[in-house]
């Protein structure tokens, strides 16, 4: 009995010595610095940051005042656990003003590691934002000697065209009922249009086109027109469209 007890004590001492002398290191095989030779975990394990993926596109275009519905994200830690519920979302999106906005998604896992992703939202004017009646203040007149003619009307209406970001400017002048334009962010491009002034043999062909800039409020558009009239010198004029 005494001998068995002695062996038992020796075994415990041996085990204690072996354990205390065992190699220290990271014993978690999932860790980046896993040490297969280590027998004692020393708390040095280093883990990969969590994965986070966007659903949907990373860059989105949005019209002024258009509702934004986020597609969301998916997050997973290094152990394969779904941690999407831990994702924090920070956004400066303002769909009432044109500009570039950022939504940031950040997730922190149990190991203290974090990952982030960003989604860019570009808010711009679309054709529907410009639909309205407009008062037009301009210096687009030409002098034909016996009379002065307005190249554009003092009151015009913008409606949506048949294609994306296309608008029709109606009641353009007394000679042409409407012109076609394209909305590109805060810019408007008015295609080249040709109309005639006067009656043969005293008639003139007028070619006019323009580029415009929408102000941040969307209530004012300044258009710079360029025109050519027969054999006369080409000219330029400016018109300010005020939404009624």
| Contact residues for 175 (Cβ-Cβ < 8 A; gap 6+) | 195, 196, 197, 206
Residue 96 burial (CB count, 10 A)? 11
- Residue whose entry in the numeric block shows the structure tokens 């407009």: 134
pLDDT, tens digit (0-9, with 9 covering 90-100), for 67-97: 999 999 999 999 999 999 999 999 999 999 9
Q: For the chain, what percent of residues have pLDDT higher than 70? A: 89
Return d(Cα 82, Cα 111) in angstroms, integer: 14
What are 178-184's contacts with CB under 8 Å, separation 24+?
181/212, 183/125, 183/126, 183/127, 183/130, 183/214
pLDDT at 18: 47
Residue 155: φ, ψ to 5°: -140, 120
- The pTM of the full predicted model, rounded to 2 decimals, is 0.75
CATH level 3 topology of 51-124 = Immunoglobulin-like (2.60.40)
pLDDT confidence band for 32 (50 / 70 / 90)? confident
Dist CA 47 CA 111 (whole Å): 7
Q: According to the model, what pLDDT value does residue 9 have? A: 60
> In the structure encoding, which two tokens stand for residue 143, read together?
């002098």
Residues of the chain with CATH 2.60.40.10: 51-124
Burial letters 184-197, b for 16+ CB under 10 A, else e: eebebebeebebeb
Identify the DSSP state of 129. G
Could you give the residue range(s) of every CATH 2.40.128 domain in the chain? Answer: 127-243
Q: Pick the range with the lowest mean pLDDT from 134-143, 162-171, 187-196, 197-206.
A: 197-206
Token pair for 110: 């149990």
What average pLDDT does the segment 218-238 reach?
92
CATH 2.40.128 correct for 127-243: yes
């Amino acid at each position: 009995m005494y001998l068995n007890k002695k062996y038992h004590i020796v075994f415990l001492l041996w085990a204690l010595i072996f354990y205390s002398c065992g190699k220290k290191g990271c014993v978690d095989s999932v860790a980046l610095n896993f040490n297969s030779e280590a027998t004692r975990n020393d708390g040095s394990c280093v883990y990969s940051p969590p994965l986070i993926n966007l659903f949907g596109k990373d860059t989105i275009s949005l019209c002024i005042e258009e509702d934004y519905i986020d597609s969301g994200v998916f997050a997973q830690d290094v152990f394969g656990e779904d941690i999407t519920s831990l994702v924090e979302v920070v956004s400066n999106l303002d769909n009432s003003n044109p500009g570039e906005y950022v939504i940031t998604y950040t997730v922190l896992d149990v190991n203290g590691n974090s990952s982030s992703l960003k989604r860019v939202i570009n808010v711009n004017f679309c054709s529907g934002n410009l639909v309205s009646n407009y008062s037009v203040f301009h210096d687009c007149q030409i002098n034909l000697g016996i009379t002065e003619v307005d190249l554009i009307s003092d009151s015009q209406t913008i409606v949506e065209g048949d294609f994306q970001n296309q608008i029709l400017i109606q009641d353009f002048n007394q000679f042409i009922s409407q012109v076609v334009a394209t909305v590109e962010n805060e810019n408007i491009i008015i295609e080249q249009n040709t109309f005639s002034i006067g009656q043969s043999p005293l008639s003139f062909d007028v070619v006019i086109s323009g580029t415009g800039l929408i102000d941040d409020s969307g209530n004012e558009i300044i258009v710079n027109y360029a025109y050519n009239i027969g054999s006369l010198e080409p000219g330029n004029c400016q018109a300010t469209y005020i939404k009624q």
